[in-house]
Chains A and B, each alone.
Chain A
């Protein structure tokens, strides 16, 4: 054990420096005697940290390309209320359907709180710690401290590359069986090797938060795709939006009901007419005037026509006697019925109803111009005008406006979950299914 350099400057990390027995490069020792293995940063030989002479445990064979950790060893940051230093780095690989996926693990050390891990895959980060309670494995899930985690994936994970210190016997090419169980943003992982199982609990964290806490240069890599325990931000907004929807829906029903109860629904005009399409006289006429009272509100015009396999078209104009302001609208009343091979059928209705939503008070009259097939003969119909009726349409429109974003977000949430589970051992099969 040959100290090479004086201790670090005051306030900096407490680093003991040794020399690699293979290549002589200086080895920083940061874990205060807690390390079991240490990997030389220069020749990558794996050394016995418990041996004063740093016995060589494994010679490095360049099977893989050297990887540079995104978070350099020795980086320090405040994380979850304690100071941590990055002391180890390993690249691990799993093979699924002949495709190798690599992820990276950073080992963090605090002399008070011990070890934790940052793992990174495609820009997705997890903050993991070894659990203290024993999880129970159920059929396709695991239970830990009363919470259920769904089984996501089982694979064999192999260490491909390592740097720094580790509090366990690390060897390159050693492989363990890893099973992940998820309850986003958490992932419960079991690692089994030689009949011994270690459980860790990871929490999805954002790279930007790590970059900030550890004062790293540049930007955290942008995450690609959806990660197994990535919380769906939409999921939270989906439940929120449905909650809001339920609230507003109730409000609409209440307002609608109140409107229904308090609207006066005062009939201000009713008259029956006969129209003969064959008549040569000018069909248009005006009604006697009627009073629309109160504040600006709705007006309902109902047309009930004695049509049978006929149509009647009425061009209406509601005209303000004083200002001459006219509200034009056309209504068709048609009703057909018959019998065919499928039985009896009908089409249309002899009753028509239209609501003009906001008509100011005043004296009004209707100008009516009926029209029909010349062969129809005489048709009886009546016109009824009612002041201040509830307007259903705007409520339906409001309902639609509320429903649309809720449905949209739910659809996107569904797609997020589908993408998440697509990477698992249990991809979602159909809409609403899977897992």
Chain B
């Protein structure tokens, strides 16, 4: 599903798109952040050096979520008090964009879910219960995160952010939800906690000395 190459407006290196709907990408060569409009790529900034990272997932890795194959196209890295985590932008075989999060090797896949109205951030407390998509959720973590960096393709522009607040919610099953308060309007993502083996990941990063 690799799309025809464009050229980086900054350094001229070819830019490949894994996903036709990508709004933003980064140049692997000069680390420019590029925003795609209908006609061209605009350079809007440059990625600062990414922190040393240990996620086994990388751009180009592929896997399976609920019988749908996916490819990893990009990511956002967040820092918080207890470390950092990765939100990998994955492109499902259906063409939808989803998020595969790797927080201390606990993996979850979520997709945007159209639920209205969503609670305001100051109205959410740990232990609060919500019901979406016929599933009861309990708020288990409210995380103040700092935007740490981006890599690859994203479904929206995300390059001038500083901080974001997320509320994680769990069910009594494997369901997982995140309320994203990084924009004026909250966005709900629904999905599942997934076992590493169940993702059947391929083209993973290799760690020296580890099999």
Measured CB to CB, the residues of A under 8 A from B are 7-8, 10-14, 31-34, 36, 50, 81, 83, 110-115, 130, 132-136, 143-145, 167-169, 195-196
Contact = CB atoms under 8 A, between A and B. Distances in A.
Contact of B54 (A13, A32, A196): A32
A14 B209 contact: yes
Give the interface residue-count category, chain B: 20 to 34
A32 B51 contact: no
**A contact face: mostly helix, strand, loop, or mixed:** loop
A110 B82 contact: no
Given A12-B209, A14-B209, A134 B172 contact: yes
Nearest to A15: B209
A111 B56 contact: yes
Contacts of B207: 14, 32, 111
Contacts of B196: 112-114
A23 B78 CA distance: 33
A81 B53 CA distance: 24
A136 B105 contact: no
B173 A133 contact: yes
A195 B209 contact: no
A8 B209 contact: yes
Contacts of A143: 172
B85 to A, nearest CB: 10
Interface in B124-170: 126, 138, 140, 170
Interface in B160-203: 170-174, 176, 193, 196-197
Contacts of A31: 54
A132 B209 contact: no
Given A7-B208, A83-B210, A133-B172, 16 more contacts: A11-B209, A14-B209, A50-B83, A81-B197, A112-B210, A113-B105, A130-B106, A132-B174, A134-B170, A134-B171, A134-B172, A135-B172, A143-B172, A145-B173, A167-B83, A168-B82
Given A112-B105, A133-B171, A167-B104, A83 B211 contact: yes
B140 A195 contact: no
29 contacts: A10-B208, A11-B209, A13-B209, A33-B51, A33-B54, A34-B83, A34-B104, A34-B105, A50-B83, A83-B210, A110-B210, A111-B54, A111-B56, A111-B210, A113-B196, A114-B105, A115-B105, A130-B106, A132-B193, A133-B172, A133-B173, A133-B174, A134-B138, A134-B172, A144-B172, A145-B173, A167-B82, A169-B82, A196-B126
Nearest to B51: A33
Contacts of B52: 32-33
Given A112-B196, A169-B82, A195-B126, A132 B56 contact: no
Nearest to B175: A133
5 smallest A-B Cβ distances: which pairs?
A: A114-B105, A32-B54, A132-B193, A134-B170, A14-B209
Contacts of B105: 34, 110-115
B174 to A, nearest CB: 6
B6 interface: no
A10 B209 contact: yes
Contacts of A115: 104-105
Most buried by A among B52, B172, B196, B204: B172
Nearest to B126: A195
Given A14-B208, A168-B82, A132 B106 contact: yes
Contacts of A144: 172
Contacts of A12: 209
A31 B104 CA distance: 10
B104 A136 contact: no
Interface string B87-113: 000000000000000001110000000
A7 B82 CA distance: 27
Nearest to B53: A33
A88 B120 CA distance: 40
A270 B82 CA distance: 98
A168 B170 CA distance: 21
A136 B138 CA distance: 11
B109 to A, nearest CB: 12
A12 B105 CA distance: 22
Nearest to A85: B210
A169 to B, nearest CB: 7
A12 B210 CA distance: 8
Contacts of A33: 51-54
Contact of B104 (A81, A112, A114): A114
Nearest to B108: A132
